Structure 1
Amino acid sequence: AALPDGTLHVQALVNGDVWDRTRRVDGTWTNATKIDDNGSIKDVAAAALPDGSLHVQALVNGDVWSRSRGAGGAWDRAAVKIDDNGGITDVSSAGLADGTLHVQAVVNGDVWDRTRRVGGSWTNASKIDDNGRIFDTYAAALPDGSMHVGTIV
């Protein structure tokens, strides 16, 4: 996820834990930092918002958890469960120019989307692709405020 200040954050999933590494504006990389040591994470997604915050979603036992890093660099103390469906198999996310965060979840081969509003509240999930055979999804936000969600069947 690329932040407005030009830094790039890359997350890696290692043995069920999430690690974050940052590429600074000058091109140097920081050491990796473990940001979630759950041990049972199966998938990870990340999105940056215009306010400089970074949001990382983790898929654990079919549920989606979200953890954020403020513009100042401090991570929230704990992840927050944002979707307790129990049947989610893949997750992706995108931060839009208007400050909303969209998180996509694959459930039974279909893609659902939830939105975190600027104030922090979440909408209910809505089905955006009912293909029935999807096993992976990815999302990208464009500068014009649009969002593109791709799927792999």
Structure 2
Amino acid sequence: MNLRNIFVPAGVIGLVLVGYASAGWPGVAAVVGGLVMWALLHFTRLMNVMKKAANRPMGYVGSAVMLNARLKPGVNLMHVMAMTQSLGERLSPADTDPEIYRWTDGTQSHVTCEFIHGRLQKWTLERPQAQESTAAE
């Protein structure tokens, strides 16, 4: 069970109650206004990330090696999309956990990310084998 489903609503109710206890209805209005501003900021960030991702090819990243270096466990899918500015190529079936996405760069190196409950758990970088020429000199 995800404890955020319990603590976030309880925290919101607690803030509203503290606002009412400290300043009455104007305190409730201030707390609700702050919560609405917080929600609008997150919505705006989500829309900006999606707008940038819509203008790039699906599953493309400028450098898979740099993406691999910047990834950290526990970040959410939107954070990874903001780093790559692209939607990942989905490799897992829809509505299943874990969700697996891949981002590929121009050299065909790719990073495959595994998300459980929307959070990055593990990732792998795969680079193509260098093709050696066997031409006799």
Structure holding more strand per residue: 1
Shorter-chain TM range is 0.3 to 0.5
Higher relative contact order (CA 8 A, sep 6+): 2
Which structure has the bigger radius of gyration?
2
Q: TM-score normalised to the size of structure 2?
A: 0.33
Structure holding more helix per residue: 2
Q: TM-score normalised to the size of structure 1?
A: 0.30
